[in-house]
Each structure stands twice: as C-alpha cells, then as structure tokens.
Structure 1
Amino acid sequence: MYKTVILGTGPAGLTAAIYLARANISPLVIEGPEPGGQLTLTTDVENFPGFPEGIMGRELMQNMRRQAERFGAKFKRGWVKKVDFSNNPFTLTVEGIGELKTQSLIISTGASAKLLEIPGERENIGRGVSTCATCDGFFFRGKKIIVVGGGDSAMEEANFLTKFASEVRVVHRRKELRASQIMQDRAKKNPKITWSLNSIPEEVIAGDRHVTGLKVKNSETGKEEVLETDGIFITIGHKPNTAFFDNQIKTDDMGYIMVNPGTTETNIPGVFACGDVQDHKYRQAITAAGSGCMAALDCEKYLDASELCSGNNQSINENQIWGGF
C-alpha cells in the first residue's frame, strides 16, 4: 500500500516528489518511456529561474530527480496500462511492475507535441527543430525560421517569433488556414511573415550541426523544393497523455484533465493533476513545476484528512515501500 504514487517525471512530477518526500510521505514515482519529459529533448534552457547562464534540459531534470531521491522519493520504470478509480485505494496496473495500490495519485503525465513524422524531424529536435516558440525563439535572433501549421497556435507563434527572427515563413499543407480570422489577419499584417501554402512538408534537411532546410511538395502541382531555413517550429497541436484513463476522469474536449479552479483537485477525491496534462495554455517548465508544488500540498492535505491515514503522517518504511516488488 502506498500513500502516494506520482505518474510522470517532468518538472511537475519531480517537484511534487520533492515536496512530498520532504513531508515524509515517501512517494513512489513511476517513470514512463521518456524520463524527464519533453524538457530532456531541448538543449539550453535559459528561462528557468536560478540559472543565469542557462542549463541543459536533461541536466535540469537529472538534478530535480536527485533532489527528490535525496529526501526519500522512490523511482520505478514502468508503463501504466490500466487504472481503477472505482474504489480507494486506487489500483494501477503497470507494465514492468505489476499491480499496485495507492491511497492518492498525482497525475503529471504531460502532453506530447504532435509531430509531422517525416524524415529528419525527430533526430533534429534540439538542433533546429522545436515545438516551443517561447522556449527556443531567443536562439534564432536574426535568422530565418519556418513555422509549420495553419491553426491559431501557428499564427500566434509565428507572430511571436518575429520578435527574434529576420523572417518567419508559415508552411501549411492546404490553401486555406484553420486559424480564426482575427489570428489570420494579425499574421498577414506582419511584414516579417511570408507564406508557403499548399506546401506539404516531406523532409527536414540538416547539416552536421543544425537544420538547413525543409523539403516541401506543392499539393496542387506536385513540384518539390527545399526552403532554406535555420529553424523549424512544428505547431500542429499537442495531445495530453490521458488515453489510458479510459474516460474515468473528467477532461475537456481536447482530453486535458479538468481541475477545480485554484487547485489541482480532479473530480475524483484523492486524485490530483499537475503540469501540461491539465494546462494547454502556458506549457512552460516553471508553470509545470509550480503546479507540481500545488499538487503535493493538495495531496498532503488530503492525506492528513483521510481516514485511511488515521492521522499518521510518518514516512513508510522500506519494507512497506517495496513490499509488492
């Protein structure tokens, strides 16, 4: 029996683990297939407070993990296949671990950026390919950038990137954009933005160190060309990692977990959500970490009030932690 299980090891999950471990709750943290979350795919992180010279994304996540381990958080690698919220304690079926039960659960499984799935894309993430303009726009001062997408997010990020880039080219596979008219008008009025519509991305072209171009095909003529660029921002949406909950928890139309305003509480008592899995607006490491802190405090308060805990907030001994493995 666990007091708390945390799903996910991005900034939200690791911050929650630090806070709960320091409260002597000894959480068990389940790592998914990408320990550290999306931040491990970036190179320099220059907007996380406390690092004036910047820090590598992977290093930041490793430091947060070590900090959580120092205070007693336990980590286990596994893939959650099934959950059962019908009774407390909750039951989790985890591939690589088995079945485990917990009195409370913090969900920080994040949201994955949708990719084009074309040659050269994944291997060049952090080498010119990005899914976050706010995170990486600064690195492209005075350079040419391509934004792939035709929705509101693409228009918003294209406008944002003109603060840094010398030129922003919007590439979209169709003639018509999906963005709202007001967002289209705003982008079309920006003199730094150029357009390549009816252009289907086929391949990311890169040299030894960084991206140099995007190969596209005209959807009407079939003509192929390589658009020269220093960076490619993929803005075709995000998908929250919530499918495995099988509609047992309340989400919005896009699949993001809904929480009570001002808290991380879900519609299920004892289940909390933090980070990008419940935030489709900001999606920043620092806001995820802040919500992880909130989730830990909300969870600790729940456990203190729970009859299952009988008012006992002492740490679980090692035999209890690993008794099921």
Structure 2
Amino acid sequence: MEVKLSKEASAIPTVLVTNEGGINDYGLRILVRVLLSTGCFRVFVCAPASSQSGVGHGITWHQDLCVKPVKIEGAIAFAVTGTPADCASLGVSGVLFYGTTPDLVLSGINVGNTCGNTICYSGTVAAAQEAFLQGVPSIALSYGWRNNISSTHDLKLAAESCLPIISFVLNETKNKTFPPQSFLNINVPTNVSNHKGFRLANLGKFKMKNDYTPTANMHVINASGATERDAFSSPSQEQLWLRRDILAIANLDEGDDIDYRAIQAGYITITLLGALFSSEIPTFPYLRAWLREINPNHHSSYDCSEIPDWSIYK
C-alpha cells in the first residue's frame, strides 16, 4: 500500500497522535478532529487497540505486535496490540508511515489530569517520553474530567485550548530553539470554558495511601484428586483476587507554582519533563559521603563501627 501526498499536504507539519485510552477513546478522536479542523496539520495516529491506562512506560518485548489499519476520516491510523510507549516508538520509526517521521508527537487527550507522582504510572506521559527518547518533540495532554460534570464538549474545548502550545512547539522546533532536553506535560482544568490561561508549573508530589480489598477466592483442585478443603489448606493452591483502592492523598508541596494546585486554581499548566526524572542535586553530597565509606580502595575490610553520620545531609 502506498500513500501519496499532495505538495500542499507535505508542506504542513506532521503530527502523530497516540494515547493510553485506546484507538476508540473519545479524547483521541476529539483531538484528531480538532487538529484536522484547523487545516494546519497532517495527522497520523498510532494508538493501543485497547485501554492501557496505568501501564506506565512498559513495552512489549517478548511478543510480536499486531498492527491493524483503522478508519479515521482525514488521518492515517493504526491500532496496535501494545502499550502507549510501543505505539509512540512504532509511530516515529518510519515503519508504518512509509518513512515519514512526525514533526511532533501528541499523547492524549487523556480523560483525567496527569500531574505529580501520577506521571510514573501514566501511559499518556510514557508515550510522550518515549517519543522524546527517540528524538522527536512531544507533548502529553490531559483534561481534568469529572464524572457527572464534564462532557465531550469540554474535551473538545480542552483540545482547542492546547492549539497555541502545539503551534508554538512546532515553530520553536522548526527554528531549533526548543529545549532538546525536555518534553511538555499539559494539564487542562475541569472548568475549561473559564480557564485563566497558561501557567508554568513544577511537578508536584503526593503521598498516596493504598488499600487492597479482596473481591473473590478461587480454590483449585489439583490433579491428584485433592478436595476443595485440601486445596484451601494449601496456600499454593489458592488464588486471591484483590482490588486496589486509593484511600487518601496527602499533598507534600506548598505554593501556587505546583501543577495540581495551579490546575485547581483554574490554570492550564505547562510542566517541563526530562528523560529520567532524576533526583535533586542536593542529594549528591550525601551519596558522595556514602561512597567514600564503602569504596574498596579506601577500606580493606568492612567495619560496622565506621558507618557515617548521614543525618547531616537531611
């Protein structure tokens, strides 16, 4: 199959859209329609065949990926039996779109904010991060959807509100002035129709408390003819099904420049993320002191009495 593009189409920037919610997710379909309605973008889509919410930056390593073309009017689209990171990697590789590398990767628009520690679990952020690792500029887009309050019209407004950022990044990338060490994480507040504009925000920190609720027990009778009671008495023969529940979230940050606080205040937040979310520089002296104590070049034997006082670095 060969795709032929007009001179007009090849002159405009190419945007690859992916997500964590799957190829049929409302957020993705609305984002694609918003992009196409401007006439300013050529749109490719490479998204998971089913929802991959919360998979983080997992990749498919030991199994083949199944790729199927999907009809999305105005775009070239594929569904992939893989993770968001798989889709981003495949989408920028040139394998699916006949050698074309997109100018920008957009991941979203996610139904629900992706800020603070949640970026570690987010497939939305992972897809943007994977594109960034492959050398392609990227943006993760999320909208603070709330059940019984938000609507698909709000999702459309959220996608439209991000168009100035998308155009700005494409222009800066074309001029080679966009920071090559960063990609963007954008969060749109729930009340998008009355948002207060864009605001740079730092990544917040949460302390999440988890609980696990049993949902069912399954007792397996083994091949030797053991009874259900015997199976129940043997831990190796029992399966316990558990559901994770988040009981509480404690905010560890203060200040108006924290992402989730700025979102609550009604701003569209822009957070710069890097490849590896590394720890803060002030921890380095602590680690240097630690290494001095355990480095074999300095000690011929291990002495428990020589443990350093690390409390001075706290």
**With structure 1 as the length reference, what TM-score do the two structures score?**
0.24
* Structure index of larger Rg: 2
Select the structure that is richer in helix.
Answer: 2
Greater relative CO, 1 or 2 (CA 8 Å, sep 6+): 1
**With structure 2 as the length reference, what TM-score do the two structures score?**
0.25
